[in-house]
Structure 1
Amino acid sequence: MQAIFEWDLLSIYFMKSGILKVKGGLSMNHNLTELEVEHLRSLIGGHGTVAKKLEAYAQSCTDPELKTIFERDAQAAKQAQQDLMSYLN
């Protein structure tokens, strides 16, 4: 299974000034520590995994009400993933 969140795409590293730099010249002033970035990366990947699983459950579900719940929750997990990604953009 391909990783939901590919760390290589971000190529994040820290400068001595404490400003987070992202490959491509983008910078941000969130002043995240290396540990915080690692935790954020883990949370983003976890939300992606949850979204994929909920989508799979929704597809295999025969109960329309339960299917709707799975689809709604999958969308919420995707939105949470995007919200967390905003800290890296």
Structure 2
Amino acid sequence: KGVVDPRRVCIMGASFGGYAAMWAAVRNPETYRCAISFAGVSDVASMLRYDSRTMAATRYFRDWRTRVQGDRHFELDTVSPLKQV
């Protein structure tokens, strides 16, 4: 609608909102000059590698990985804003 000047607008979010802000800037670079992410996951595979070292039991990590990744063959880079820039 031309309400926002894309040369001056930034999007910001925290946690999932930070992830969403990064995706918005990656997928719509003509709309946003910048994105601010506070505690948003930028690389899902890196997050899972970190989580695997911090969870007390392997089974807890396996359950968490399944919830995040689903199919073990799913390419996490496709949902990681950092890998899509």
Query: Which structure dedicates a bigger proportion of its chain to helix?
Result: 1
Shared fold, TM over 0.5: no
Structure 1 length as normaliser, TM-score? 0.31
